[in-house]
Amino acid sequence: MEHGAPVVDTSVAGVAEARWGVRPEPAIARYAEPGWQLSPVPVDRRCPTCEGELHGLYRAHPDRGRQQLQAAVVCPTCPASFTLRELKLSQRSVLGELRPDAVSRRLAEDAQLEALARNSRPVRPPAAKPAQSRPQSQLQRPDQPERPPQSPAQEPRQDPPTRNKPRSRPAPGTATATTATATGTTAGTTGTAPSTGTAPGTADTGTGTGTGTEAVTPEAERDLSPASDPTPAVPVPERESMSAAGTADTEVVPGAAAAGVVPARAVRRVSTVAMAARIRSILSGSEVAPSTRTAGAPVLPPALAALESRPVWWCKTVDPALDVPDLPPGVDARVVMPDRAGFDRLRARLDQAGVPFRTVRHWLEQEEVTTSAASAWLSDVGGVVPERCEEVVGDGARAARLAFEMLWDLHEPVDPADVPDPVPVTRFVPADWARFLPFPVLNPAQAQAAPHLVDGDSHLLITAPTGAGKTAMGMLAVLKSILDEGRKAAWLVPQRSLTDELDRELETWRTQGLRVERLSGEYTVDVEAVKAADLWVATTEKFEAICRAGSLQAALGEVGCLVVDEIHLLGSPGRGALLEALLARVRGTDSPVRIVGLSATVSNAAEVAEWLEADLVATTWRPSRVTWQLPTIPAASGFAANNRRREQVVLDLTQRHTAEGGSVLVFCGSKRNVRSTAMAIAADRGAPVHTVAADDIDGLTKVCADVGVRLHYADYEHKHAAERAFRAREADVLVATSTVAAGVNLPARAVIIRDASIGGDPIDTSTVLQMFGRAGRIGAGETEGWSYLIVDETQRADWQTRLVAGYSVYSRIRDSLPDHVLAEVLQGRIGTMDDAQAWWVETLAHAQGDDDLEPVQEAAEFLVDEGHLTLADGRLAITELGRLTARMMVSTHTGHRLRRTLGLLPVPHDPDEAENALSLVLSVAVRDLAGIPVPEPVRPAVATVIKAGGKTSQITNTTSVKGLGSQTTTAPGDLAWAALLLAARSPHLFETGKPGRGRRVAGGIPMATLHPVYEQAPRFLAWLAAQGVLGTVHPWIAVVAADLDHRVRWRALAPTRGAGRLLWMCEEMATRAHLKDVVPALWRSAVARGVRAPDWQPGRSPAGCVLDHAGYTALLRERTTNYTLTAHDDKATVTGGTGATAIAWRGRTWTAPATSATIAYPVTEDDDPTETGVAVFTRRGDYRASGWLDAYTNLNTATETPTPPPARPRRGLGARR
């Protein structure tokens, strides 16, 4: 927001006016928003109205650093604006090759990975004779089309990797680069989809054999790391190894060119860990630093911006000596002031002058609003000296007028006789429903919605302020479906914590005979219980997983009502796309499933309701009055000075409200700020915080709790105790991160938002409004509330505009479009490209003007190229890989990234090297893991764990990372890498169930900090493991991933290397419904008897096995127990069993899955002839492999014994005393 000068209008109309002097009306709402600019691409179409010339415009719509291009078309002659749908234009015809920042970063990343793949190959003289080709069937999957033969002009050993089939357009979100430079190397087309038996992202040999990336020659040293450490945990510096993206390490022999031969010096073999380190540096560098993310410029909706231009003088003041200026006749004068005794004289003077005024308790803002400008003062709070800020005009001034009007109307005196009385429940609902409702009466908002919920059957979108009782509205919709229609209902909430809270509220329903089943990631799904349930309470993600599961399709057909809590999260960058895809299936008037969306107040609710084809029920009533303010502090360039000022304001505001017996919620932008602010409040109350170390969480908790202050953030182990204490009024101050805003229901009298950013990202308007809604909650006995957002003088006008404009919902499905197309194919809703286009038309993105069909076409082509779908005779069919990916809900882009980077790794030589490299690549290639932040206090511990390779016995005074560099040793993914290394190398740290066990810290890292990694990593490890039988990843990756997956998930049992197969057997014998209780008992019983693998003889099932005899016998047949694997020089043999899939490999190339007893090794460009092996996989999940992978066949009973660290050497000057 500019201050002191008119704001530049960058809406579509504003750009047209600046360029051609005309202002076309916006065809859709987004054209009135800012950020538009002219496209450099000419539009090859004439205006349908006047045949005039058309011009394209575009903008990058930002949200937390993720951008999506949007297009518009204008005709200056008419003048008029058009959507692409109206003109039947594609986005590319308007924007050409313009790409948003996110796609540009992916292009750069792909180019660097290409260069890494190219330069990891040896350079050899041309062969004297053509290479012999192998039969296509050995390396080509039967369901894949044969590759076209390469032309003689191609040089596959020099060309960059290519897809299986050429593309004329970029893949969605991973556009194909025509020329991209990465550290001095020109890269071409992006390689993304492997054929079966080919490392992802690698080049074909040109012979049609399907071999993978060529490996460097083995004549050089095996490892580039120091020989003393055979399993290096620290990435090898690139200066010590071959350049990751530079020129190949070759040496031309003088005179060789004349002979037509270019001999080359053998390139040293790069170790698996060294290659993983290079991949890490590329992927880490492609992420955007949080500091570069900015929020979009605020804008007022057209309806709010079109204010009448009557002359006004409106004043918010805290000055009891305010002088009203001499105003000309006709000027509307008003004053808002604090409700304090010191303002009696000012009220008398205003009465005498005939100036209307209103008084507000706890008022602290000062602002003067005139017809065309507004100027505010710094707030007299927290020791800030009030000074006048810069004047604002344009949208800033209009927003100030609107904010004043909203405040004026909010505090209009209300006649108690006009307050509506509660309405008996039985006026709107059948009498026998009343026992299921929490109260015998309905408030005005509930009474307004009840007739629509009970008497009608159309879709509904209900918008109401926080605290208006939307939960009871959802209950009415559910009861109608269950009791009146005899059908099931599903209730979706955005977070797991809300499933717990709603489940507690519905406990009385169980006592009344209704079957309520809670579904979230924390709880194992009992399929039979889910099928029998009347109501499912689930997160959006869990419900979508059920939709993709084949076992519950009949139960889904019985669902008659879908209640979507917080439906405005459609615009959320995280879960919005998934929710949109789900609603797109059941929207429309002919749907058998009724949608009831419960939403906070949003500015474009009518647009969302129109998309859903739902009736809109909007209410502004809430049981308490909430006044929001923007305490304004001076802008400070220093981080520390800014923090001190914000803390002082928090202390002042907290003291004001708690002195009256009120409770206060303080929201901070980071865990560090939560701790420092809680300590400051506790110190202000006399707590001895100076006796507590900064990293002593238990000490800090106790010191703060003693004076009524509690803390709350995601991985804080005392957060549930803090919630209980705050609800019970044992604490009157709760300092928290945004988890409380979107999660648990913790009302308070006052809400203070300390920071205008969260984790470095600008806080979004919807989050602020959710936080504000926690104030004055009637559930806490409050009738009035106060909300504060602390801003500096440069932020005030922007935030006032945002809060007045409100929150708008915009589609996010373009960010992950291939995932949702794949899910629709899995569920049978898309079978052709026409079906895909028809589905796209049903999305909110299309309804909001994203009407180009090209995105869904590109998404389908991307899925075909990646091997998730096949396209034959116009029909789209899902492959086994696609089915696996969709059901495990792995992002297709993440899967592509993971398979491609893992395909670049040379085959390891031992399990330590394999686990280290796999953990490293997984932690940085999966953005869900790479994005987990490393809390500042534990950064040295994370770096130390990585340096020690996860072995706590090697963490000593000399190996720990300390000193000045400790703050710069972490990178994206480091926390995940350290967590996986600890689980793999130090499993004893996680053992529970024994005296002295149940640690709270592992390797110096709190278990609560590690928990997000252990919650998410197993899904991706299991996805890699399941591809072993499909042959879509290298067998070593599948075997190691399978073992790590089981060891991480069952870490509380302290399983060591090789435990994966035995844990798999325990899981199969327990069945999914009894995993939590049965697997530990089976495991401990087996280990106590010396059982190290599931290879016992057939007979009676073990004690505790849940399977019946037939099921147990079938399970025994699915083992690899009887298989004998032998790796010969030129082939591998598999004997002793039937039914399993066998795969042989040489270097980074492997064969297609086969069932034959003899498998020839594939032709490969890897130069190490010893890199051969064979593995077998069963459909049910067992495996066995030769060579060093045999270490994963049986449980390794040797455990790490912690050794005491050596005595710390003497340091410094002088004698030691």
pLDDT at 394 over 90: no
Give me the torsion for CA of 803, 809, 812, 813, rounded to 10°. Answer: 170
Residue 1194's closest CA among 1058, 1097, 1043?
1058
Name the 3-class secondary structure at 534: coil
- Band the pLDDT of 823: cuts 50, 70, 90: very high
Res 142: pLDDT: 35
Mean pLDDT of 282-298: 53
The answer to whether position 657 is within a domain reads yes
Compute CA distances 1032 → 139, 193, 896, 923, 1027, whole Å.
Answer: 11, 10, 11, 20, 6
Res 102: pLDDT: 57
Structure tokens at 88: 């039947």
Res 557: pLDDT: 85
Do residues 400 and 321 both lie within one domain? yes
269 with 1168: CB under 8 angstroms? Answer: yes
Report pLDDT digits (tens) over 1188-1204: 999 999 998 765 544 55
Dist. CA 769–CA 747, nearest whole Å: 14
Do residues 558 and 707 both lie within one domain? no
Mean pLDDT of 1051-1064: 94
73 with 57: CB under 8 angstroms? Answer: yes
Do residues 439 and 588 both lie within one domain? yes
361 Cβ contact partners less than 8 Å away, ≥ 6 residues apart: 338, 339, 784, 786
Report pLDDT digits (tens) over 711-751: 998 778 888 899 889 988 899 999 998 766 665 677 789 99
Do residues 465 and 359 both lie within one domain? no
Gyration radius (Cα) of the chain, Å: 33
Instruction: Please tell me what DSSP assigns to residue 481.
Output: I
Do residues 921 and 942 both lie within one domain? yes
pLDDT at 763 over 90: no
Do residues 612 and 522 both lie within one domain? yes
User: What counts of helices (H) and strands (E) characterise the chain?
Assistant: 40, 42
In whole angstroms, what separates CA 1107 from the centre of its chain?
38
1031 Cβ contact partners less than 8 Å away, ≥ 6 residues apart: 141, 196, 197, 1141, 1143, 1150, 1151, 1152, 1153
Do residues 22 and 64 both lie within one domain? yes
Residue 957's closest CA among 1211, 695, 696, 1201?
1211
Mean pLDDT of 493-510: 83
Do residues 476 and 534 both lie within one domain? yes
Res 936: pLDDT: 76
pLDDT at 179 over 50: no
Mean pLDDT of 663-668: 93
The answer to whether position 1177 is within a domain reads yes
697 with 635: CB under 8 angstroms? Answer: no
In three-state form (DSSP H/G/I as H, E/B as E, the rest C), the secondary structure along 733-757 is EEEECCHHHHCCCCCECEEEECCCE
Report pLDDT digits (tens) over 140-172: 333 333 333 333 333 333 333 333 333 334 445
pLDDT at 1031 over 50: yes
Compute CA distances 743 → 461, 497, 734, 740, whole Å.
Answer: 21, 6, 14, 5
| Selected residue with higher pLDDT from 964 and 473 | 473
pLDDT at 357 over 90: yes
Report pLDDT digits (tens) over 569-584: 888 877 888 999 999 9
Report pLDDT digits (tens) over 616-647: 999 888 778 899 999 999 987 677 888 899 99
Report pLDDT digits (tens) over 407-422: 998 888 877 666 778 8
The answer to whether position 902 is within a domain reads no
Compute CA distances 533 → 454, 514, 525, whole Å.
Answer: 22, 8, 12
The answer to whether position 276 is within a domain reads no
pLDDT at 1034 over 80: yes
pLDDT at 968 over 50: no
pLDDT at 958 over 50: yes
Structure tokens at 1086: 């087996």
Q: Which of 585, 602, 618 corresponds to the end of one domain?
A: 618
Dist. CA 512–CA 749, nearest whole Å: 35
Placement of tokens 């490892």 in the chain:
223
- Band the pLDDT of 554: cuts 50, 70, 90: confident
- Which amino acid does the sequence have at 1142? A
1064 with 1090: CB under 8 angstroms? Answer: no
pLDDT at 920 over 90: yes
The answer to whether position 180 is within a domain reads no
Do residues 1102 and 961 both lie within one domain? yes
**Cβ-based burial of 449 (10 A; exposed 0-12, middle 13-18, buried ≥19):** buried
Do residues 730 and 786 both lie within one domain? yes
- Using N-to-C axis directions, what is the helix angle for 833-841 and 817-826, rounded to 10°? 120
The answer to whether position 1201 is within a domain reads no
The answer to whether position 199 is within a domain reads no
Least confident window among 203-217, 819-833, 970-984, 1137-1151:
203-217
What's 352's domain CATH number?
Answer: 3.30.870.10
Res 837: pLDDT: 92
The answer to whether position 281 is within a domain reads no
Compute CA distances 785 → 357, 780, 892, whole Å.
Answer: 21, 11, 46
Report pLDDT digits (tens) over 1038-1056: 999 999 999 999 999 999 9
* CA-angle at 23, arms to 17 and 27, nearest 5°: 130
Report pLDDT digits (tens) over 91-133: 777 877 666 655 666 667 777 888 888 776 654 444 443 333 3
Res 404: pLDDT: 94
Instruction: Please tell me what DSSP assigns to residue 259.
Output: G
Name the 3-class secondary structure at 935: coil
Least confident window among 23-37, 500-514, 585-599, 987-1001:
987-1001
Percent of the chain having pLDDT more than 90? Answer: 39
Res 134: pLDDT: 36
- Which amino acid does the sequence have at 8? V
Res 616: pLDDT: 94
What's 878's domain CATH number?
Answer: 1.10.3380.30
| Selected residue with higher pLDDT from 66 and 1161 | 1161
Query: Which helix or strand (DSSP H or E) is residue 395 part of?
Result: helix 395-410
Residue 24's closest CA among 302, 299, 297, 300?
302
Residue 334's closest CA among 286, 383, 367?
367
Average pLDDT over all residues of the chain: 79
Do residues 921 and 842 both lie within one domain? no
Domain that holds residue 1069: 907-1192
| Selected residue with higher pLDDT from 215 and 726 | 726
Q: For residue 363, is it left (φ>0), alpha (ψ between -120 and 50) or beta?
A: beta
Do residues 954 and 874 both lie within one domain? no
What's 638's domain CATH number?
Answer: 3.40.50.300
Q: Which of 98, 123, 142 corresponds to the end of one domain?
A: 98
In whole angstroms, what separates CA 97 from the centre of its chain?
27
Q: Which of 394, 416, 438 corresponds to the end of one domain?
A: 416
| Selected residue with higher pLDDT from 593 and 957 | 593
Res 861: pLDDT: 93
Mean pLDDT of 309-313: 84
Pairs from 23-27 (Cβ < 8 Å, separation ≥ 24): 23/79, 24/74, 24/75, 24/76, 24/78, 24/79, 24/80, 24/81, 25/80, 25/81, 26/81, 26/302, 27/72, 27/80, 27/81, 27/82, 27/83, 27/86, 27/849
Number of domain units in the chain: 6
